[in-house]
Structure 1
Amino acid sequence: MLRSETAENPDRLRAALVGLRRYQSAPRTARPPEMPVVAKAGRAMLRDYGGSGAVTVFVPSLINPPHVLDLSPQNSLLRWLAAQGTRPLLLDWGHPGETDRNMDMGGHVEELLVPLLEQIGEPAALAGYCLGGTIALAAATIYPVRALALIAAPWHFSGFPDAARRDLAGLWQAVEPTAQALGVLPMEALQASFWRLDPARTIRKFEDFGRLADGDPRIDAFIALEDWANDGPPLTLAAGRQLLVDLFGADITGQGKWTVAGRPVDPAATACPVLDIASLTDRIVPAASAAGIGESLPLNLGHVGMIVGSRGRNALWEPLARWLSQPRKR
């Protein structure tokens, strides 16, 4: 990918390699201790970020660690919300193993998310980011919640570019033997495919990083975000297959053919208030893939930038805090 993107410009190739080496060799700062656990279901748990308001459970993607919502003490949506009259609980999916091989995405809803919600003791709001929003939407159709916020959550997978859908659906054929043997789909197999969703940006960000002056505060921010993006537990075998074959390949969610708890998931049947946040410039989860239900909040920020970027607080954090703080029946 590096060779193809810089074939006509050797200077870009050298700059990207400088940035890559700088990233690889940079010292790392240890993350703060994990927040306390207030509920467990199987390998999954809810981590409490404090705050005195109504509970909102944040559901991260199954891909990459959940701490993008708490990237650093200085850049944390969850810590900020806790100071704004919301009590955020972060769902940590835990680390699946071979014994979880048959748990598909619906199983994550039925066996992990819903049992965690049952332990809270009051109706919670759900806020799902990326694939976590897809899962949260399904949970809201089978379990009563106060409200549902979808943040860059794909539903109509036909809204992705055809080439990306073919690449991701075809990935399963290449990795299935390894995944079958391991009982999980390794994160590394997915990451290479996600790089190809926007190869120009993947290379450009390392070019730009290599040019930053020593001491620039953007260096630490880049390292923290890139470490998050290149880390994460594997997917269960069944969830990996369902994501690549059934969602990206066949768009079973958009076609109304995804069943959870024995019935098809219908976004239009969601009984609670819904805020659907999608960005018109998101190249990872296109706005065309959003569920398109409830109140919409269109943005012009990148998929990750809306959570941790410099404009994210004004564009997403503050509107989300206001929406979550609206009085609703418990």
Structure 2
Amino acid sequence: MLARVTGGISPAALSMAYLDWACHLAAAPQRQLQIARDAWHGARQVAQQSLHLADPNRSPWELIKPQANDHRFSKPQWATQPFNLFAQAFLLGEDWWHKATTGIRGVNPANEAVVDFSLRQLLDMFAPSNFAATNPEVLEKTFQSGGENLVFGWQNWLADLMQVLQPGKTASAAEFVVGRTVATAPGKVVLRNRLIELIQYAPTTEQVRPEPILIVPAWIMKYYILDLSPHNSLVRYLTDQGFTVFMISWRNPGAADRDLAFDDYRSLGVMAALETIGDIIPNTRVHATGYCLGGTLLSITAAAMARDGDDRFKTITLFAAQTDFTEAGELTLFINESQVAFLEDMMWERGYLDTTQMAGAFQLLRSNDLIWSRVSRDYLLGERANPSDLMAWNADATRLPYRMHSEYLRKLFLNNDLAEGRYRVEGKPVSLSDIHTPMFVVGTLRDHVAPWKSTYKIHYEVDADVTFVLASGGHNAGIVAPPGEQGHSHQVRTKAADAPYLGPDEWQSVSPRIEGSWWPIWTAWLGQQSGGPGEPPQLGTNGSRDLGSAPGEYVHS
């Protein structure tokens, strides 16, 4: 009952963090004096600046500039007075609170991060960009349109309210339909069990490489993030480059699946897919690819296979996937013993983690972009973002079964068992250092889910050649980066298994930035690891029953 009110955030965890900060601050009079001086200095700066509003020689952002990733005040209207003063006063206050909540001796770093993050979320509510009277963009449009934007904003708010009260298809769902406009790569379902459908895609070239690609997407998202519209479908790009592609499509679990374990995703997912691929294309090895949580699962599977002498993986590719969770970014603020226990209690009733809790947590990580910018655009400016395939996919949310999610949070996030050699598969521990298979690893520069420096740790965890790519963009846009699309760039460097380790900052400074998509780099690397082209394999096996065509049934669940 409490979880419904708090949105899944543990009040105990939040209270303990604030108590830790408040007690240590109370015992630090010199730090209190410094914080008071900072407040007085900031107030005096704002007062002095207000006396010179009409001075054209003063820089618009003389007191403080927005951070590079803060786009709330990027429009030229914010350089005019008094709105520039409003923005600077807000940024100074935000900076003061950050200094007041950090750097207190004795405070647990995790608690400090929770206090700093939660206060930032609260302060963001009161940004001048969120109110019509203090937002010059809104005022300008209101005068130009005679208030029409506010009418449209009211209509947008009512439409969103009805969407909350009566959940259903979003407006973009009519334009982006799975199987018709997205997830349209032709193929056939060649395996269906209680957890997955395995899709084999039809070849688009006369000859293909002998080694197929198996893609293991995350089950916190629908698989067709990698098969969106034809122009940005990774599946279509791979088949056009002469590769046979298999994709796992996870079934969306319900209450009856509450006891699905994390290892079930390995055995019923990756291992079952490998068995089917072996039946279709006998005596060949596989280019295994994992995205996000699917990449973590693939790493566990690869370590277990290496331990047991199973060499069916020719190469391993990871997209924005973590194997060490000690520096997993701000997402870890939602994961401690109190928070996990609270989530377990909440999941126990339904048997799964609902889509709203997970989506809400991800939105908080980028609240300026995903929440408050939308409030300003939709409700104050009266505009709507043009629907896109990525937005439609993002709204097509999934659930997580109770047991699997609990094991994931405890074994990987809380205890970091995989990175520290305690994770067990079939009763025996696995170690990433057993992996000797060549690896291609992609991190994305602005990833709030799997920070790139966290994914970079694979360099010292495995005993293999690692080609690491740092792509521009975020967790999704950095991966869905087709050639020819503007705005993409990347850095790439290969480390041999016996080469000395290079830290992430050093790696970033010595690796040249290349404009364009990283997809051609990956397919060229796969080509170097593959045999010569030959006849395409058949779709499915002669004895397999007809399970239907791509995108299958589970993607609609």
Which residue of the partner structure matches residue 197 of structure 1?
365
TM-score, normalization: structure 2?
0.52
Which residue of the partner structure matches residue 324 of structure 1?
526
Q: Check 1:329–1:192 CA distance in 2 against 1; reply closer, same or farther (3 A cut).
A: same
Residue identity opposite 2:431 in structure 1: D
Residue identity opposite 2:171 in structure 1: A
Q: Considering Cα pairs closer than 8 Å and 6+ residues apart, tell me whether 1 or 2 has the greater RCO.
A: 1
Secondary structure of 1:271's partner? Answer: coil
Matches of 2:441 and 2:449, distance apart in 1: 16
- CA shift at 1:240, angstroms? 0.9
Which residue of the partner structure matches residue 134 of structure 1?
296
Which residue of the partner structure matches residue 472 of structure 2?
300
Matches of 2:323 and 2:156, distance apart in 1: 34
Written as runs of structure 1 = structure 2, the 5 A alignment for 1:2-81 is: 4-9=123-128, 10-11=131-132, 18=153, 26-27=171-172, 28-29=174-175, 30-33=177-180, 35-51=187-203, 52-53=208-209, 54-81=211-238
Matches of 2:449 and 2:156, distance apart in 1: 22
**1:28-66, CA deviations, whole angstroms, 9 ceiling, x for partnerless residues?**
222225642022343202112223333111111120211
Matches of 1:295 and 1:32, distance apart in 2: 34
Secondary structure of 1:48's partner? Answer: strand
Kept after mapping to 1: 8 A contact 2:241/2:523: yes
**Which structure 1 residue ranges, 5 or more long, are not aligned?**
none
Secondary structure of 1:305's partner? Answer: coil
Q: Check 1:146–1:295 CA distance in 2 against 1; reply closer, same or farther (3 A cut).
A: same
Kept after mapping to 2: 8 A contact 1:102/1:238: yes
> Which deviates the most, 264-273 or 167-176?
167-176
Which residue of the partner structure matches residue 154 of structure 1?
322
Matches of 2:189 and 2:373, distance apart in 1: 36
Written as runs of structure 1 = structure 2, the 5 A alignment for 1:1-330 is: 4-9=123-128, 10-11=131-132, 18=153, 26-27=171-172, 28-29=174-175, 30-33=177-180, 35-51=187-203, 52-53=208-209, 54-121=211-278, 122-141=284-303, 142=305, 143=310, 144-161=312-329, 163-169=330-336, 170-203=338-371, 206=374, 210=378, 219-221=386-388, 224-290=389-455, 291-293=457-459, 294-309=466-481, 310=485, 311=487, 314-328=516-530
**1:108-133, CA deviations, whole angstroms, 9 ceiling, x for partnerless residues?**
11232101111112322111111110
Kept after mapping to 2: 8 A contact 1:171/1:244: no
Matches of 2:488 and 2:216, distance apart in 1: 18
**In percent, how many aligned pairs have the same letter?**
23
Matches of 2:253 and 2:488, distance apart in 1: 31
Kept after mapping to 2: 8 A contact 1:60/1:130: yes
Q: Check 1:166–1:20 CA distance in 2 against 1; reply closer, same or farther (3 A cut).
A: farther
- CA shift at 1:202, angstroms? 1.6
Q: Larger Cα Rg: Structure 1 or Structure 2? A: 2
Q: Check 1:303–1:212 CA distance in 2 against 1; reply closer, same or farther (3 A cut).
A: farther
Matches of 1:67 and 1:205, distance apart in 2: 27
Residue identity opposite 2:295 in structure 1: G
Secondary structure of 1:37's partner? Answer: strand
**Which structure 2 residue ranges, 5 or more long, are not aligned?**
1-117, 139-148, 164-169, 279-283, 460-465, 490-515, 533-557
Kept after mapping to 1: 8 A contact 2:331/2:449: no
Matches of 1:189 and 1:140, distance apart in 2: 31
- CA shift at 1:304, angstroms? 0.8
Secondary structure of 1:196's partner? Answer: helix
- CA shift at 1:99, angstroms? 4.0
Kept after mapping to 1: 8 A contact 2:471/2:488: no
Q: Tell me the matched-pair count.
A: 324
Q: Check 1:56–1:268 CA distance in 2 against 1; reply closer, same or farther (3 A cut).
A: same
Secondary structure of 2:259's partner? Answer: coil
Matches of 1:185 and 1:281, distance apart in 2: 26
Residue identity opposite 1:140 in structure 2: A
Q: Check 1:269–1:89 CA distance in 2 against 1; reply closer, same or farther (3 A cut).
A: same
Matches of 1:50 and 1:8, distance apart in 2: 51
**1:93-116, CA deviations, whole angstroms, 9 ceiling, x for partnerless residues?**
112234432332222112321011
